[in-house]
Structures are given as structure tokens and as C-alpha cells.
Structure 1
Amino acid sequence: MSDRPAGSRHPSTELEPSRTRRSAAFAKRALLMELRVYESVWRMIARRPKIAPGAVGFRYHGQVQTILIVFIALSALEIPIVDLIVKRWPPVRIGFLILGIWGVTWMLGLLFAYFTRPHTVGPDGIRVREGMEIDLHVPWEDFASIELKSTRVENEPGKPKIGRVVDEDGDRVCAIRIGSQTNIEVRFEHPLTVRLPGLAPKGGEHRVDAMRFWADEPKELLAAVREHLPAD
């Protein structure tokens, strides 16, 4: 992986944003995530995953499910413990109770987002998702190929964290990793614009030649893709 030189066919889409713009973008992103927490809880209770008519969903949360459940359990256990400590101060007690319930609800919403927003394969193409924020659409007219390809990225201590978009062998690749791993690669007929959470340079819009992501059942996802491709 290397930085692409100036004048390449994948220029940066945006200069470093101002502090004011960053603050506004952060506030908007936080609000959207808060709303999606409650949407995810609703979808889980109503058993209505975000899958378009005619599409099939595929899980990707296997590696993070246990970790999230442990965090939720610890957060829930913390509520009565803190309540016992501050019960002699009613205003403080009420404040911590509200904060604790909100925290558990937020963590449940995050977990439920993995359950109710799966990857999908359907008549309109492939949708690659991750939690509450990422939802990337690959229409069939832009699709070129798909294959099983396992990759793993380790961030080295003291070095900048590797972003979701990287330059590799002359191509620009968007990698939606779960536990630092991907196991499927989709290539496009021509560079496709994807929008990632946050602002440039690591977020925002990027033109990419391929996308990698993780699916818990990659062979089943590939089989579903082949059902939508024209026969040779």
C-alpha cells in the first residue's frame, strides 16, 4: 500500500475541512446515529430487517457479537452498582440512572444494527453494510466480478490507523473490515463513487475500483450473486 502521487486518476475529493465544518459534521453524524439506535431497536422488536423486496440478507456480525453482548451486560450491571453508591443524593441518582439507561439502550441499538442491517443481494445489486452507518450500494450495471479473497490488516503501534480506502497495485480499494478482516472482493466495471462516514480525507466520497468486505457465510453470498448474473 502506498500514497498515490499527484495527477493520478483518483485525486483527493476534498481538502482538509475547517474546524467549523468538522464540528457541524460531527453534530449531524451524532444525531443520525442517535436516531438509528432507536430505529434498530424498533426493527429488532418488530422483526423487520432492512432488506429490500426480493433481496436476501447475509450476516457479518459473528466476530463482534460476543464482545458487544459482554459490553451490554457490564453496562447493565453498572446501573444498580452506581445507584447504590449515589442513592443518598436523589438528583445525582436520577442523573446517573438516566445516563445508565441511555448507555445500555445505545449499546443495544448498536448490536441490533448488526442484526437488522445485513449485507443484501437482490434485484438492484449488492449492498455492503456495517453497523449503523455504512450502507454501500453496488448496482449490477457497475458490477464486474466477485471472488473469495481473505485479507487482514493490522494497525502498527505508533503509526496512523489504516483507513477504509487504500491504494493497492494501482487500484483504489474500499475495505469494510470486521475484526480487521475481509473475505470477499467485488470489482467494478469502472471506478465507483462510495460515501463513507465522516469528512475527508478518510471519510466522504471516494472513487474506488474495488470493494472488500466480510461475510459470515461468504460462499452463500457468492451463490446468491450468481443467481442474479446472466448465464454465459
Structure 2
Amino acid sequence: MRIGELAALVGVSTRAVRHYHHLGLLPEPHRLGNGYRAYRLRDAVLLARIRRLAELGLALDEIRDILGDAQGRELREVLEELDADLARQQEALATRRQRLATLLAEADLDVDSTVPEPVRRIVGFDVRNLVSLALWVAGRRHGVPRGGTAVPYTGPQAGMTVVLLVVMVIEMVAVEILLRGLGAPVALRTLLLVLEGYGILTVLSVVAAIVTRPHVITADEVRIRYGAFFDLRVPRRLIAEVRQIRRYDESGTVRVDGERLAVAVGAQTNLLLELTEPVTATRPLGRRAEVRTVRFFADDPAPALAALHQRLKPVSPGPAPAS
């Protein structure tokens, strides 16, 4: 058979036959004296196999591997193995689709649900700190309603923070002078300046959050905070006792020990709330705890105590009506 006859018999183009020859899928046949290829029946069978495998969606490299493994075997045997392999792939796809259906059936499909909570909270800290910096510049406070009592807690760390900022500014200037003297590239100096400046901005924004987000006492609740990192709301109806304390040995800023919570500033707390039932406190990175006792710090505990005691006073009954 000539190449045109072979192509017509199998149902492919002569160009496809030549391409299969070029790739080594179809061996070159014997050539006649005039140079024409002379195909035999076995060439037609092999070309038919190639066509059938290609129609199944296999790549030509995969077909080459299958034909290499299938030498001496019948086409049915090769196709049966291929069918079993496709069945395994179909089963794997069905399993993946089942998992996807389970995910789609969940109520919470928010993109944030795929991000670990500690990461989301850290990003939230940065955003709230920058907002607090804008509030500080504008001379405003966050979350202090009309009639509420703001209770600042900046005192013990104010001096240390000022020293830290001064040191950071001096360090930034000193590094810039040193790098200029060493002839460092402008790109390197700019990068270091940006990093140092961002560090200073971060410290300033943390300070701003502490200043603009004080503790708050209202008729309905006591809100205990530490900058943008911690926020606990205690309903007034749950407060059984309020008293002043003096502790200078607190470890950490927000610490839970059993059902006792401490929100310290400079290792200090000076106010204590005893609750009639536990409230849920969420620590900075998202861990939650049930607490019945809350210790926290106020720059001046006297106004806070007065406001708390005022809120806790029972309402005196009026005079009895005349009979």
C-alpha cells in the first residue's frame, strides 16, 4: 500500500502519517525501487492503534510508552489496561469532587477562613494601630461614648517609650552618616532608611493606640483594653466587687492563670474586678479563656473606682405613697 492508501484505510491524513514517522511512533516501511513507501497490513494495524489511543485523549508521548509496552500483545489487552487506568483516575476525581462538595456545603466560605486566626489578628493590629495614629494626630479617642469615663493607663511605660523612640532616631541618623562615609549605594541607604522609618512609625502607632484606646466605664459595661491588642467587655450586671490593689510583679501584658486575668502595664496592676459568672477573654493571638477575676492598671485608680462604685450602687427606693 502507498501512504495515501494507508491513510485512507485508517482514516487519518498523510501528513499525520509522516508526523508519526518523524516522532518514531510508526516505523518507516520498506521502500520500493522508485522510492515510494510500501506499507503492509501490520503497519495499518499499528496506525489504527495510534489513532484509537489519540482519540482517547492521550498525548503522543504517552502513546509511544504504551506502544512500547504493548509489543507482542493484542490491542484489546492494551485498551483494557488503559480502561482500568482511566477508571482509577475517574475514582480519584470523584473523591476530589466529594471533598469539594463538602467545602461548598460549609456555611463559612469567607476567604479569611483559610487564613490562620493569629495571622489575621496581627494584620488587624497593624491596621488599628495606624488608625489610632490618625486619631492621636486629630486629638480624638476611640470608643469613649458621651457620658462614659475614660481611664488612661499610659504612665508606667511613657518614659521607656520616649527613650526607645529617641534611640531609634539616633540609630537611624548614625547609620545614614556611617553609610554615606563608606560610600554605600543610594539604593542600600534608602532601603535602610525606609526600614528604620517603618520601625519608628510602628512604635509611634502602638503608643497612639494605647493613648487613644483607654479603658472605658459606662452605665452598661467596663471595657478593659491594651491598645489595639486586647479588648474585653465586662457587663456591669456581672460585677460583684471592685477594689484597689497594688501589684508590681505581673508577668506579661495579657496573662491568664486559671480563671484570673491580668492586663498589666509595666508589670503593674492596681484595680480588681470580681465577677458573678465568667466572661470570655480573647488573648491577642486569638486564644480564648473563661475568667471570673480581672486585674488591670489605671494611671489614677481613684476616678475609676468612683465611677465603678457609682455604677454599682443600688437605686434607693423612693418614699412610700401616703395612704
Instruction: State the TM bucket, normalised to the shorter chain.
Output: 0.7 to 0.9
Higher fraction of strand? 1
Aligned position for 1:44: 136
Of 173, 180, 189 in structure 2, the residue corresponding to residue 93 of structure 1 is 189
Aligned position for 1:165: 256
Deviations, residues 44-77 of structure 1 (Å, cap 9, x unaligned): 0111111123211111111000001111111112
Of 230, 233, 236 in structure 2, the residue corresponding to residue 137 of structure 1 is 233
> Where does structure 2 lack aligned partners over 5 or more consecutive residues?
1-112, 317-323
Whether the aligned pair in 1 keeps the contact of 2:176 and 2:189 (CA below 8 Å) is: yes
User: Does residue 114 of structure 1 match 2:210?
Assistant: yes
The 4+ residue runs of structure 1 with deviation greater than 6 A are none
**Secondary structure of the equivalent of 1:110?**
helix
User: Structure 1 residues 147 and 65 mapped into 2: Cα distance closer, same or farther (>3 Å)?
Assistant: same
* Structure-2 separation of matches of 1:186 and 1:115: 23
How much does 1:131 deviate? 2.3
Aligned position for 2:221: 125
Aligned position for 1:32: 124
**Secondary structure of the equivalent of 1:164?**
strand
* Structure-2 separation of matches of 1:222 and 1:154: 21
User: Structure 1 residues 174 and 27 mapped into 2: Cα distance closer, same or farther (>3 Å)?
Assistant: same
User: Structure 1 residues 154 and 38 mapped into 2: Cα distance closer, same or farther (>3 Å)?
Assistant: closer
Deviations, residues 192-227 of structure 1 (Å, cap 9, x unaligned): 11111125xxxx111111101111111110101122
User: Structure 1 residues 131 and 223 mapped into 2: Cα distance closer, same or farther (>3 Å)?
Assistant: same
Tell me the amino acid that sits aligned with residue 222 of structure 2: I
How much does 1:132 deviate? 2.1
> Where does structure 1 lack aligned partners over 5 or more consecutive residues?
1-20, 156-160
Aligned position for 1:7: none
* Structure-2 separation of matches of 1:145 and 1:68: 34
Of 153, 174, 189 in structure 2, the residue corresponding to residue 81 of structure 1 is 174
* Structure-2 separation of matches of 1:38 and 1:196: 20
User: Structure 1 residues 163 and 42 mapped into 2: Cα distance closer, same or farther (>3 Å)?
Assistant: closer
Deviations, residues 152-188 of structure 1 (Å, cap 9, x unaligned): 3366xxxxx7971113xxxx21111112221111011
Task: State the number of aligned residues.
Answer: 198
User: Does residue 231 of structure 1 match 2:315?
Assistant: yes
Whether the aligned pair in 1 keeps the contact of 2:223 and 2:231 (CA below 8 Å) is: yes
Deviations, residues 124-172 of structure 1 (Å, cap 9, x unaligned): 31111112211111111222111112223366xxxxx7971113xxxx2
Whether the aligned pair in 1 keeps the contact of 2:264 and 2:296 (CA below 8 Å) is: yes
* Structure-2 separation of matches of 1:90 and 1:27: 34
**Secondary structure of the equivalent of 2:281?**
strand
Tell me the amino acid that sits aligned with residue 297 of structure 2: W
Of 228, 246, 262 in structure 2, the residue corresponding to residue 150 of structure 1 is 246
* Structure-2 separation of matches of 1:182 and 1:126: 16
TM-score by length of 2: 0.57
Whether the aligned pair in 1 keeps the contact of 2:238 and 2:275 (CA below 8 Å) is: yes
Aligned position for 2:278: 191
TM-score by length of 1: 0.78
* Structure-1 separation of matches of 2:221 and 2:173: 47
User: Structure 1 residues 173 and 154 mapped into 2: Cα distance closer, same or farther (>3 Å)?
Assistant: closer
* Structure-1 separation of matches of 2:151 and 2:202: 23
Larger radius of gyration: 2
Aligned position for 1:6: none
Higher fraction of helix? 2
User: Does residue 71 of structure 1 match 2:71?
Assistant: no
Identity of aligned residues (%): 26
* Structure-2 separation of matches of 1:222 and 1:35: 32
**Secondary structure of the equivalent of 2:315?**
coil
Residues 17-28 of structure 1: pairs in structure 2 closer than 5 A: 24-28=116-120
User: Structure 1 residues 32 and 151 mapped into 2: Cα distance closer, same or farther (>3 Å)?
Assistant: same
